[in-house]
Amino acid sequence: MADEVVFLNAGASPFGMRVRIALAEKSVEYQYREESLQDKSPLLLQMNPIHKKIPVLIHNGKPICESLLIVQYIDETWKDDKAPPLLPSDPYQRAQARFWADYIDKKVFSSMRGILWSPKGEEQEKAKKEFIEELKVMEEELGDKAYFGGDNFGFVDLSFVPFYTWFYAMETFVNVSVEAECPKLIEWGKRCMEKKESVAKSLPDSLKIYDFALQMRKKLGVD
């Protein structure tokens, strides 16, 4: 029986972009369902009753929630000869990759949220400072490698690159140039977009993301 794969997502979500890239990497066919986060479908509530969030992957009727766990599930389930595994085979290297993905979610995403959804002022400035510091940590980890995974695009690259398309919104909201602060990180983002079709076709345009963030700020009454 053919696999039935359903992907519940919302277009601008960096977490959803991770899943999109992973599915593209492994050439998995799936049905896409766009969710409205203001009016969640009964299917989303049934499939992710704990967090009630996208993304959710439903594989043969069984849900998997949380983007990093979904990506790991995809990596373990669809082993494609053309696409090397996203996670390294060595347990220590695997733990390190998971550490950086966790750092992105706990630290980088948290400062990005601070920039995006805070009113102009002290709180947003604090988030800006933290954001740049954290990006520098990521840049240091990248070092002179082509990818966080070394010569190949891997789990950390996949976990981080969706945020690259959000950088323009951050830069515009708090008047900072990520390229001036972290040039290697920008080169890495461009490399991912140019060399990885799975990335290029999964990331929305930065301007669209910026418009989306502006609309959200209005809706939330931040500005």
| Residue ranges binding ligand GS8 (CB under 6 A) | 10, 13, 15, 37, 52-55, 66-68
Q: By C-beta, is 13 or 72 nearer to ligand GS8?
A: 13
Q: By C-beta, is 67 or 118 nearer to ligand GS8?
A: 67
- In angstroms, the CA 24 to CA 58 distance is 16
Q: By C-beta, is 53 or 196 nearer to ligand GS8?
A: 53
Least distance to ligand GS8, CB of residue 208, Å: 15
Asked if the peptide bond before residue 183 counts as cis, ω within 30 degrees of 0, the response is no
Q: What is the DSSP letter of 148?
A: T
Least distance to ligand GS8, CB of residue 97, Å: 15
Least distance to ligand GS8, CB of residue 69, Å: 8
Write b or e for each residue in 65-94: b if 16 or more Cβ atoms lie within 10 A of its Cβ, otherwise e.
bbbbebbbbbbeebeeeebebbbbeeeeee
**Could you give the C-alpha distances from 9 to 52, 117, 122, in angstroms and in order?**
12, 21, 33
Q: By C-beta, is 10 or 186 nearer to ligand GS8?
A: 10
- In angstroms, the CA 34 to CA 10 distance is 5
Strands (E) in the chain, as ranges, are 5-9, 31-34, 56-59, 62-65
Least distance to ligand GS8, CB of residue 76, Å: 17
Q: By C-beta, is 107 or 191 nearer to ligand GS8?
A: 107
- In angstroms, the CA 120 to CA 118 distance is 6
Q: By C-beta, is 104 or 178 nearer to ligand GS8?
A: 104
| DSSP 3-state of 211 | helix
Least distance to ligand GS8, CB of residue 83, Å: 21
Least distance to ligand GS8, CB of residue 171, Å: 19
Closest CA relative to residue 45, chosen from 36, 176, 150, 212:
36
Give the residue closest to ligand GS8 by C-beta: 53
Taking the C-alpha atoms of 96, 102, 107 and 108 in order, what is their torsion angle to the nearest 10 degrees? Answer: 90
